[in-house]
Chain A
């Protein structure tokens, strides 16, 4: 009897555990906006429609689960919005676009594998995707080997060009270098460089140090912390001792929350030592707290507050589709315009074949939310305006500086004498 009761209890517990696991699994699928289910259905439908030839399949490959989903889901949303708008306006070459969504799962080998699947199995015309440099580096050989086409929407460390990738985010001369020049012009000469310990901050700081040396600034300190680091009191101590005029911040992710909170607690405000960040956008401000960030700077090409008629329409459409509490940010916008730029190149080429599209892409312009952008055929990056924004109490940016004209992309920094020799590193 005793044993039976016990057994029953164990069974009940097992059932409950199973139910919990299923709930959790269901949730994570829910977070993927039902893409797993969708993909299957659309795949099957897609086979037929391709035969009749009235849709064009395009791949969307972002991390919809795992640690990067925080950032990448919003970009996926923006790309789907662009596809929906294009379809509503009659599609491309008279055909409707059909998105095939894959989850890179914050895992670089998965990105490579899914890229291969999209090209070989789904035969998509192009892929929009990626966020981290690691995911891009993992996908690059696949696109080059299979002759596919990737549109990559995030600012990155530069020093790369692939014939099979178009870059719609900023390269270093469209974000980091002008922001350093701007800080120097404001009279900030002593720089403290703080970053997460991986490729982007280290490459960025290598470039910044060379630039400071050439343009008359001083690097008074340089620190890297592991991703996810949350204890900044010692580093803030070191910063105080070094007495910089400005902190150049290339920290990524959650560390920013801890760093800014603890900086304020140490009694350092934006008036004492301003911080300029390159990875803190509208979405991150919500999680850090606008009160802690107010007065500090960020360098991007686009803000939700960027004053163009195209942006007003874009922000309204994004909020209407995904909720009034959602915000737009630079990578979200870069994902959105990638779809339009590709569509324009296809229209011009009259086909979705990769080589003609690439040839047609050179010089294509688009009235983007950030202002007019143009594809530079040589580097396959785009001309972008650089903007410095200052965080305001409501968590939005006030633009304090912008380049008068879109800046020509220069991923290999050939236009800077001081940057020669950085290439090989």
Chain B
């Protein structure tokens, strides 16, 4: 019983990280049809932002240090969003409607960003010290719920809520959906599609930066940090179905929980193989994913 609860919690926790990483992709890939291979590098940028913020705070009086992570979150979002904006302006805007070209170009950008990180921070990993209030966990008998994972769960919930409000409840979100569904018509109605594109891409990148903060708490921070997660994140978006927030959520939890279950029954390598095989089989059956968007413009 206890181990089942722990297993379930692990599954949900894995899913939440996958979801956070996939959310940014869901925007750029699902809504804008840009295959952003540099998404992992935006995660890396977020992770390094945490590292830099931590350094800045270590110069301040000691009592302030524990608060650094709360500051690192907006910093990571803003830094990643600004670099995303720059990338959109320099490159992506020439590639709308050309998914394959965007794949190759952003892959190159990803390599450049990795090399830049290597030049600035050095090739080896850097270490972040987690704030004291994130160490340890809630303990119920044998079950331990680490504070870090609980914090990440909360963070994902907040990001999801904000995204929902932005996309479905704000004027800017309505313009965004309009442009994604029918660019020409939206343009005719007076929406600046250029500005919407730029804003959307920046938000997607910013969320990747926030995902980088979560990753920094759990794993390594190095030039290739983001690349470990990128395949799984694409799987989530494709499995969930393009263009729907709820699909991404379903995809993340589907993959995260099944991955954890299979991993505990078999081994890490076999678990992953089984999950990927299951995804491929599922997409044969329902090519549009778990939640398909009902629109004519996608055909």
Contact = CB atoms under 8 A, between A and B. Distances in A.
Interface of A: 10, 13, 16-17, 20-21, 24, 27-28, 30-31, 67, 69-70, 73, 197, 223-226, 228-231, 233-235, 237-238, 240-241, 254, 257-258, 261-262, 264-267, 283, 286-292
B218 A28 contact: no
Interface in B216-261: 217-222, 224, 228-229, 260
A231 B214 CA distance: 13
Contacts of A230: 215, 218-220, 228-229
Contacts of B218: 230, 258, 261-262, 265
A257 B268 contact: no
B112 A20 contact: yes
B124 A283 contact: yes
B181 interface: no
Interface residues of B, number: 50
Interface string B144-158: 101111000000000
A197 B269 contact: yes
Central interface residue in B118, B136, B215, by most chain A CB within 10 Å: B118
Contacts of B112: 20-21, 24
A24 B115 contact: yes
A267 B126 contact: no
Contacts of A258: 218-220
A192 to B, nearest CB: 13
B220 A225 contact: no
Contacts of B229: 230
13 contacts: A13-B90, A197-B269, A225-B267, A231-B14, A233-B13, A234-B263, A235-B263, A237-B264, A254-B220, A261-B218, A287-B222, A288-B127, A292-B127
B94 interface: yes
Interface string B112-153: 100110110001111111000001110100101011110000
A254 B127 CA distance: 11
B127 A287 contact: yes
Nearest to A13: B90
Given A234-B10, A240-B142, A289-B129, A69 B123 contact: yes
A288 B264 CA distance: 26
Nearest to B271: A234
Majority secondary structure of chain A interface residues (helix, strand, loop or mixed): helix
A229 B268 contact: yes
B3 interface: yes
B219 A223 contact: no
A13 B86 CA distance: 12
B127 A17 contact: no
Contacts, number: 128
Contacts of A254: 125, 219-220, 222, 224, 228
B103 interface: no
A30 B119 contact: yes
Nearest to A292: B127
A73 B122 CA distance: 12
Contacts of A290: 127
Nearest to B261: A234
B149 A13 contact: no
B220 A237 contact: no
Nearest to A264: B135
Contact of A291 (B6, B14, B129): B129
Contacts of B3: 237, 241
B111 interface: yes
A31 B228 contact: no
Interface string B188-222: 00000000000000000000000000010111111
A1 to B, nearest CB: 19
Contacts of A70: 123-124
Nearest to A255: B220
Contacts of B125: 254, 257, 286-288
A224 B219 contact: no
Contact of B10 (A13, A233, A261, A291): A233
Nearest to B125: A287
B7 interface: yes
Given A228-B228, A265-B135, A234 B219 contact: no
